[in-house]
Amino acid sequence: MTVLDDIIAGVREDLHARQREVSLEELKERVASVSPARDALSALRGPAASTVEIIAEVKRASPSKGDLSDIPEPAALAHEYEAGGAAAISVLTEGRRFKGSLADLDAVRSAVSIPLLRKDFTIDPYMIWEARAHGADLILLIVAALDDEQLREYLELTHRLGMNAIVETHTPEEIRRAADLGAKIIGVNVRNLKTLETDNTHFSSLVEHLPEGPVIVAESGVAGPEDVAAYASSGAQVVLVGEALVRNRDPREAVGDFKNSGRKARTGYLETAQNEDEHAE
């Protein structure tokens, strides 16, 4: 059994417990009364081609690193992220390995106005309804955890509820599956969820397989601004940052530093691409 298999087994068990407490019909009733989802796709695209947006994460722990930060007030942390210029906020809601909860999602939703990602291992349509009922604007769909029929069904439901999804990949085959699905946002996780091994150069090795059109998100492996710059110089338009922010004494300033570093690197990336196009002509 891989690490991903083990995590999903726990997610499924916890999901069944929540389903016994709150029915799908109750969730649908709640969804009907919540405010419409925010436009996460536009937020992640940013105001200009040279922009590199940051998804800032509320993350207490991880399977690879253990405890990261206590985070007694996730709403306060999220407020700092928003003030620093984050385009969206990711909230871990998986409880066993990440020590997150839907209560964290609720707290953050009440504190910020920018789009919110419910970061979890989506394995059932119930979790998509659940995300929207708790105010999420984005969900995560991990290609390695779902077959093509599930991916198509879940993405269609996500869009029907007015949300967007980051379709997460790790291999050329998974990128192809995401592209064939018509994913509008494709994430590349440099951490192998089956082994938890991380290789930041993995992003650049997959760039040639990424389609034009979707927003490209680099995930994991960020320790500082230089890592954001490295992803941006390889074509990332968005970088998701967790550990480096929750452990930072000034998360507001850190978000700004990450954005500035990414913008400079992406500007260089776009200039290089333009020069190559001109020479090709």
DSSP notation for 46-81? -SSTT--EEEEEE-SEETTTEE----S-HHHHHHHH
Catalytic one of 53, 62, 90, 119: 119
119 labelled catalytic: yes
pLDDT of residue 169: 98
Give the pLDDT of residue 40. Answer: 98
Q: Which of 50, 192, 220, 233 is catalytic?
A: 220
> What radius of gyration do the chain's Cα atoms show?
18
189 part of the active site: yes
Q: Which of 59, 99, 184, 259 is catalytic?
A: 59
Beta-carbon-side half-sphere exposure of residue 236 (alpha carbons within 13 Å): 37
Q: What is the pLDDT of residue 280?
A: 61
DSSP class of residue 211 equals: P
> Which of the residues 219, 234, 248, 259 is marked catalytic?
219
Cα(131)–Cα(27) distance, rounded to whole angstroms?
9
Q: Domain residues of the chain, as ranges? A: 3-280
- Spatial distance between the Cα atoms of 48 and 56, rounded to a whole number of angstroms: 19
Choosing from 80, 94, 130, 168, the catalytic residue is 168
Quote the pLDDT of residue 281: 59
Q: What superfamily would CATH give domain 3-280?
A: Aldolase class I (3.20.20.70)
Query: Positive or negative, the Cα torsion across 171, 234, 180, 147?
Result: positive
| pLDDT at position 103 | 97
Pair of tokens at residue 277: 């196009």
- Nearest CA to 186 among 194, 195, 177? 177
Residue from 62, 90, 189, 192 carrying the catalytic annotation: 189
CA distance 181 to 167: 10
Q: What is the pTM of this model?
A: 0.96
Residue 216 in contact with residue 184, Cβ under 8 Å? no
28 is catalytic: no
Specify the pLDDT at position 70: 92
Which pLDDT belongs to residue 189? Answer: 97
Query: Which stretches in the chain have pLDDT values below 50?
Result: none
Closest CA to 100 of 86, 77, 114, 120: 120
pLDDT, residue 277, reads: 62
Q: Return the pLDDT at 1.
A: 86
pLDDT of amino acid 273: 76
Spell out the alpha helix ranges (H) of 161-280: 172-181, 202-206, 225-233, 243-246, 251-280
